[in-house]
Amino acid sequence: MTASESTCIYCGSAGPFSDEHVVPASIGGDDRNWLLKGCVCARCNTDVFSPLETKFSNSSPITIPRMAFQARTRNRGSHSRPPTSQPKESFIQDPRNLVVSEAVFVGGAGLVPVYLPQIHFIRVGEHEIETLPIGPNPEAMTSLLAELTRGLVDEIELVDKTSQAGRTAYIVYKMRWNTDRYQQISRRTETRAPRNGVWFASLDPVRQFITGGYRLTPRVFRHSSGSITCRAGNIDAAGIALGILRVALPRHTVRGDEQKNAFLPLIKQSYSFDMEAFIRVLAKIGLNVIAHTSGLETFRASNFDQARRFVLTGDDPLPFDLKSRQRFPVALEKLSSKRHLIGIRVSRILGAEEISAIFRLYGGPVHKVVLAPRSRRITAAQPVWLSVDYATHKIEQHS
């Protein structure tokens, strides 16, 4: 679909423009045919829609089914990889070492837990601590050790992400090496995350997962995002742990028997879902479908002013039903185990019109978002039924 007017259909700017997927490529959208060309500006695409769709795919109700059922996801142009998630906490019980380790799920072939590269601190005597490395493979552990060797210099920063007055803040503790440990010398609060530093995380979430025989162990690990985190009881304990690691690193070597990547059934994760981002992306998909199938003139109708504003800014939320009773045609329902289903419903009763979009993603419940609440302004929008084969990134329109 190509624009008939040279302004962005979401923000009204004069461009420059970039291709917009009707359905996000991260959940199986068509890379070739179902694109809006020359009508969505690059700023909306890059600054608003890209981070919004990341939250939609990695921090929303579809995160786990996406990993379980979608083998590959397009990422950065033509490249693809198994889908991942962004859990707030993610642990796995390690029966070999009797510790609770950091792990993530990797999709593509079901849900496979994979250890993050990490080093645990095990108390073996009243005044003696041993380091225990655990990781997915020797290469990951070698890389972690090299990064820690470079990073644990005489002065480091520990960063604690927190919330102050309802806003995210970052408390930065400057630590200085003193004989055998790092000690705090200053503290400041930032509104943006520092580029460098070691992140601090509490041991409390691990404590809740400890059962008979398992040990509560501080640890340093590298998250799948690449950041280094020290999980300890408090900031002072983190300084002690990092000091122990600094001393131990020169004599530490990676051994093959330190690595494990086997499936273990007992895993605990906690997520922070961004429901606003989830609903905004569903609304954007619905609007994109209308622009692609009914035309830009219909899309620009004043009926959709609220929906466009909500997609772009999050203001003036739309009516939403997380588990709607509305149904897809029977012939489409038969496809729902392997495809997304998307429908645009147009209800016209007694001279009034309501337009809504319904979704069944990865075979889950039906979600409904009202794109144009009941109004006497009649648009040219038409009912639409789509299925999305997320394995092959193809969209099919059904009569």
User: With contact defined as beta carbons under 8 Å apart, do 147 and 228 qualify?
Assistant: yes
Closest CA to 277 of 75, 94, 57: 57
pLDDT at 222: 94
Phi, psi of 109 (to 5 degrees): -150, 60
Of 271 and 283, which is predicted with more confidence? 283
pLDDT at 255: 60
For the segment 58-79, the average pLDDT, to the nearest whole number, is 77
The pLDDT-based confidence of 165 (bands split at 50, 70, 90) is confident
The pLDDT-based confidence of 196 (bands split at 50, 70, 90) is confident
For the segment 21-35, the average pLDDT, to the nearest whole number, is 92
For the segment 304-325, the average pLDDT, to the nearest whole number, is 96
Question: Does the pLDDT at position 353 exceed 70?
Answer: yes
pLDDT tens digits, residue range 236-254? 999 999 999 999 888 777 6
Distance CA 65, CA 49 (A): 22
Question: Does the pLDDT at position 6 exceed 70?
Answer: yes
Lowest-confidence pick of 3-17, 80-94, 164-178, 246-260 = 246-260
pLDDT at 80: 67
Question: Does the pLDDT at position 143 exceed 60?
Answer: yes
* Mean pLDDT, rounded, of the chain: 88
Distance CA 285, CA 359 (A): 10
pLDDT at 184: 94
Question: Does the pLDDT at position 259 exceed 70?
Answer: no
The pLDDT-based confidence of 224 (bands split at 50, 70, 90) is confident
pLDDT at 209: 82
Question: Does the pLDDT at position 86 exceed 70?
Answer: no
User: With contact defined as beta carbons under 8 Å apart, do 85 and 63 qualify?
Assistant: yes
The pLDDT-based confidence of 261 (bands split at 50, 70, 90) is very low
Question: Does the pLDDT at position 74 exceed 80?
Answer: no
The pLDDT-based confidence of 369 (bands split at 50, 70, 90) is very high
Lowest-confidence pick of 42-56, 71-85, 96-110, 326-340 = 71-85
pLDDT at 64: 86
pLDDT at 117: 94
Question: Does the pLDDT at position 310 exceed 80?
Answer: yes
